[in-house]
Amino acid sequence: MSYFSIKMRASLENKHISGAERVVKKEKIQDVLKDIYEKISHKQFDNINIKIELIKDIFFIDKPLEIKDYKFDSPIEANNFAIEILSKETGIKKECIEKLINLIHTGASENKDNMRGAMIVNQNCERLEKDRNRGVRTTNVDFSDREKFKEFLYKKGYTERTLDALAIATKNLNYPDILAEYCISDEPDYITGYIAIKNQYIRITPLKKLGNPKGGRIYFVKNNTDIEDLYDYLQNKTFLIKV
């Protein structure tokens, strides 16, 4: 059975507006193109880039991480809760995690913009990204039946952001040396973030202050992580999550 990866990126004056990624069988390509175009058709853009590629090797993950929800009165309380769990799961000192989380909330790249991809941090609190502005991006992951699973999540009150983020977190945590992940959106009004640990996707509201345009991800990894292999896994290996 052959699968194709479809990647769409829309921009306006070279600024990213919207993006979508899917992994589907050939007969679904036309429907998916229509779907992802609908997603951006109401926005202003001057360029859409679509790439469709045959996937040579496809891997499967048995199920998505289990979703849990927690609500707090303030981002401070919410982040303290996240830091507690992340420290327990990774063995990394709370002060280190707190410092890195603060960076994500204030713009983690050198010029105080958001990093383009995720920060990678080991248990000694050392940053391992090859480029501190670019970070690493998890791509090439989708659900085996995205529409069915989307409907299931929508009925429970979740959004397409949850769907996409759950796919990314599930692929990340499937890598043996990734111990945990922290994420807040760069959308100023999307204040639900998450932490992911082995088997769990823990949604936390409000993980950031309303109106803050900063966001990003941190991947917490084991000390002996092979960084080349990690990049290859996150960026090049294609996974479908069974649902």
- Residues lying near ligand PML in the complex (CB under 6 A) are found at 159, 161-162, 165, 183, 185, 187, 192-194, 203
Query: Least distance to ligand PML from the beta carbon of 204, Å?
Result: 9
Query: Least distance to ligand PML from the beta carbon of 93, Å?
Result: 25
Q: Which is nearer to ligand PML, 126 or 160 (CB)?
A: 160
Query: Least distance to ligand PML from the beta carbon of 57, Å?
Result: 26
Rounded alpha-carbon distances, angstroms, from residue 28 to 11, 23, 44, 163, 206: 25, 9, 26, 19, 37
Query: Least distance to ligand PML from the beta carbon of 49, Å?
Result: 19
Query: Least distance to ligand PML from the beta carbon of 55, Å?
Result: 23
Q: Is the peptide bond before 206 cis (omega within 30 degrees of 0)?
A: yes
Residues in contact with 147: Cβ distance below 8 Å, sequence separation at least 6, in sequence order: none
Amino acid at 46: D
Q: Which is nearer to ligand PML, 174 or 208 (CB)?
A: 208
Helix, strand, coil percentages (3-state) for the chain, rounded to 5, are 35, 30, 35
Phi, psi of 21 (to 5 degrees): -135, 135
How big is the CA angle at 1 (ends 152 and 142), to the nearest 5 degrees? 35
Q: Which is nearer to ligand PML, 162 or 238 (CB)?
A: 162
Query: Least distance to ligand PML from the beta carbon of 162, Å?
Result: 3
Q: Which is nearer to ligand PML, 3 or 197 (CB)?
A: 197
What pairing do the DSSP bridges indicate for beta strands 238-241 and 58-61? parallel
Query: Least distance to ligand PML from the beta carbon of 219, Å?
Result: 14
Q: How far apart are CA 216 and CA 103, in angstroms?
A: 9
Phi, psi of 223 (to 5 degrees): -60, -35
Closest C-alpha to 98, from 114, 108, 87, 88: 87
Q: Which is nearer to ligand PML, 47 or 159 (CB)?
A: 159
Q: Which is nearer to ligand PML, 129 or 181 (CB)?
A: 181
Asked if residues 128 and 121 have their Cβ atoms less than 8 Å apart, the reply is: yes
Q: Which is nearer to ligand PML, 3 or 165 (CB)?
A: 165
